[in-house]
Structure formats: C-alpha cells, structure tokens
Amino acid sequence: MHDVVTKSRDVTLLEVLDRVLDKGVVISGDAVISVADVDLIYLGLKVLLSSVETMEQLRGAPITGPMQEPT
Amino acid sequence: MTENRLVYLYCVTNEEPKLTETKDLVDNLYFFCHRGLYAVTSKVKESEFGEEGLKKNMADLEWVKANASTHEKIIEQVMANADVIPFKFGTLFNTDDSLKAMLEEYSEEFKTILRKLKDKEEWGVKIYCDTNKLKESVINNEPEILKIEGEIKSSPPGKAFFLEKKKTELLAQEVNRKINEYSQESFQLLEELSFEARINKLLPKEVTEREDDMVLNSAFLVGKNEVGDFINMVDTLKMHYENKGFFIDCTGSWPPYNFCGFSNQKVRNA
C-alpha cells in the first residue's frame, strides 16, 4: 500500500483526486502526446467512481454472497 | 535495453523551483527554463504512462491514488516558494523539445495567469447535509409544520392521513429550500472575501464515502492577507449551521487548480 495521505494538514484523498484528476490546466495539440485526447483523462472522477465500484465488487462480494447491482 | 520515456509535466512557475524534498517521490524529477518560465517535469515510462498503459492504470484505483498524490505533493513543494500553474494529471510530452514548443506558444498566457495568481491561494469548501438532522431542525422551527402536527393529533384517522401526507410534502420542500438557502448564503459570504470563486459538480456518496450528502462543492481564490478573514467566516458558518445538520469541510491552501483559466481547446476550436 502506498502512503497517499501524509500531509501535515488533514486532507483526504478525495480532495486530492477531486482536483488533480478533474482540474488544472489542460493542454492539447501537436506538442502533447495523444493521451491528453483520450476521453478517460477528461472523465476524471467518473473513472475513479467506476474504479471504486470495481474495487467494492472485488472486495465486498463473496462468490456465495448476494449479487451486487451492476450500476 | 532502454525503455522509451515520456516527459510528464507537473506545473509551470516563473521562479526557479526548489526541489529539495521531492527526491523520494519520483525518480528523474527535473526542471528547465524557457522564456522565463520553469517547467517542473519528470521522465516516466511509456509502458506506464503511454496511451495503452495509462488506460490500463487509470482503472487501478491504487495506482491512481499513488500517482495523483505524487502529482499533488510535487506541485505543493514548488508552491511553497513560488506561484504555480498546476497541470492536470497525465499531461505528457514526447520530448523536452515538444514541451518547450508548448511553453513557447503559450508563454504570454502563462505569464498573465501567474500575475493574476500572485499572493493568492486556493481554498476549497465542501458542505454536506445530514437530511434527517435538518428535518428535525425544520420540524421544530417551522410554525406551519408544528401547526399541522397539532391538527393531526386532533383529527380523525381519515383526515389525519391526508394531513400527514401534506406535512411530509411540506417538510421535503422546506428541507430543499433550506439546503439551497444555506449553501447559497455560505457561498456568497465566502465569495465576498475572495478574488474568484467556482462551484464544482457535487460528488456522489460512492466517492465521498460519507453518510451525508454533498450539497456544495466550491473553490475560492483568496488573497494571502485575507486567508484569516476567510477562515473566520468559515468558522462563523460552522457555528450557525452545524447544529442544523450541515457539515462544512474547508481545506487549503491548494495549488490553484480551479483558477488557471486556461485551456487551449477553445482557441483551437475557434
């Protein structure tokens, strides 16, 4: 596990992700390689959200347990 | 066997960055100067940050967490001694020269933004609402709802049923009204103490991992001399609202992610 929240002030990972993935200067064009054009970078927190759900499903759904809603 | 490397851009500043405490965050962190602007960068593996690799890694929450927080920490280091323009996570160039070409193209825009950001900080304010607690506060303080409650007690079952329905509707309306009123009022009071303010999209509970609902997600560009006033206002709002079911989460100072006002997409689409 990476120690991701080691700031002197009390800041959650949510706050970091809310900014780093979703805000900040966006540059596109010839100089920048094509990943900047890939939608997934712009999706930002939606990507995170789907990842969270994936993680929860992996973590929280034993094979014999009830099926989770796929939303 | 040397793997191809890409250039990852963290931030741009107009003062020489001090990168003393970033050694253990990433390998290959460096900066260079072009047209009076410093770009803080590192060399990353194409297998990890190239189009294919990044697509795969963005689905890995642990990878995203670790790398997003490294991105943030490096910018914060630079921010400790200089005004910064933070770039979005995953801004990548093929070579230093392609990054230089970008700096060349937008140097005036970046300098204008840096002048605007001088002596200012970004602060974030998120407000959450525990709807059940707010309901209690509304029930006990709204004369109309108290009146209906009285009527319900003295009414026959049929009439009481409809009154109960009316009360539920009224309560829901009133709760919504209060949420709007409190979050708008909070935003406006804080906006008055700021140079600029932004309202961002609300984040769902799956992301916040909180029981209560986010009702305001906002960011403020505050003058360094006004930060004290800003925090005092947040404390005042907490005093007024926290017993009514609201929770106010104020964080800062942040790199000015919300106030760099620059995207060259508009320019290109024009």
Average pLDDT for residues B155-169, to the nearest whole number?
Answer: 92
In terms of Cα–Cα distance, which of B118, B125, B245 is closest to B193? Answer: B125
Q: How far is CA B17 from CA A24, B66, B76, B104, in A?
A: 19, 23, 11, 19
Does A11 touch chain B if contact means CB atoms closer than 8 Å?
A: yes
Which residues from chain A sit within 8 angstroms of residue B217, using beta carbons?
Answer: 18
pLDDT value for A33: 53
Q: Is the pLDDT of residue B179 over 70?
A: yes
More confident residue, A50 or B197: B197
Indicate the residue type of B135: K
- The residue in chain A having the minimum alpha-carbon distance to the alpha carbon of residue B60 is A51
Q: What is the pLDDT of residue B263?
A: 59
pLDDT tens, position by position, B50-103: 878 887 887 777 888 889 889 999 999 999 999 999 998 888 888 899 899 989
Percentage of residues in chain B with pLDDT exceeding 90? 66
Q: What is the pTM of this model?
A: 0.81
Taking a C-beta distance cutoff of 8 angstroms, is the pair B127, B215 a contact?
yes
Is A52 near chain B, with CB under 8 Å?
yes
For residue A14, the chain B residue with the least C-alpha distance is B208
Long-range contacts from B170-179, C-beta under 8 angstroms, 24+ separation: B170/B142, B170/B144, B170/B145, B171/B135, B171/B138, B171/B139, B171/B145, B174/B138, B174/B142, B174/B145, B175/B131, B175/B134, B175/B135, B175/B138, B178/B134, B178/B138, B178/B244, B179/B129, B179/B134, B179/B215
CB < 8 Å to A17, chain B: 64-65, 68
- Do the chains contact at B65 and A13, CB–CB below 8 Å? yes
Q: Which residues 6+ apart lie within 8 Å of B240 measured at CB?
A: none
In order of their start, the domains of chain B are 5-118 (no CATH), 121-132+177-258 (3.30.70.60)
Q: Is the pLDDT of residue A58 over 50?
A: no
Burial class (CB in 10 A: 0-12, 13-18, 19+), B66: middle
Q: Which residues does residue B40 pair with via DSSP β-bridges, in sequence order?
A: B11, B31
pLDDT (average), residues B162-180: 94
Asked if B90 has any chain A CB less than 8 Å from its own CB, the reply is yes
CA distance A58 to chain B (A): 12
DSSP string, B202-218: PPPHHHH--SSEEEEEE
**Rounded mean pLDDT of B254-269?**
71
Q: B245 falls in which pLDDT band (50, 70, 90)?
A: very high
Given this model, what pLDDT does residue A64 score?
Answer: 35
Mean pLDDT across B201-216: 85
The mean-pLDDT minimum among A61-65, B92-96, B201-205 falls in: A61-65
Question: Which ipTM did the prediction report?
Answer: 0.78
pLDDT over 50 (residue A54) = no
Tokens of B57: 């890694």
Quick check: A1 contacting B, CB < 8 Å? yes
Q: How many CB pairs under 8 A join A and B?
A: 157
Top pLDDT among B63 and B194 is at B194
Whether residue A43 has pLDDT greater than 50: no
Mean of pLDDT over chain B: 90
Subunit contact B263:A26, Cβ cutoff 8 A: yes
A68 touches chain B (CB under 8 A): no
CB contact under 8 A, A5 and B69: yes
| 3-class SS of residue B119 | coil
A52 → closest Cβ in B12, B61, B258: B61
pLDDT: which is higher, A55 or B99? B99
When comparing pLDDT for A63 and B225, which is higher? B225
Asked whether the predicted pLDDT for residue B144 surpasses 80, the reply is yes
pLDDT, tens digit, 9 for 90 and up, residues A5-42: 333 344 677 788 888 887 888 776 555 654 443 334 33
Determine the average pLDDT of the residues in B239-264.
90
User: Would the pLDDT of B226 be above 60?
Assistant: yes
How far A60 CA sits from the closest chain B CA (Å)? 14
Task: Evaluate if residue A3 carries a pLDDT over 70.
Answer: no
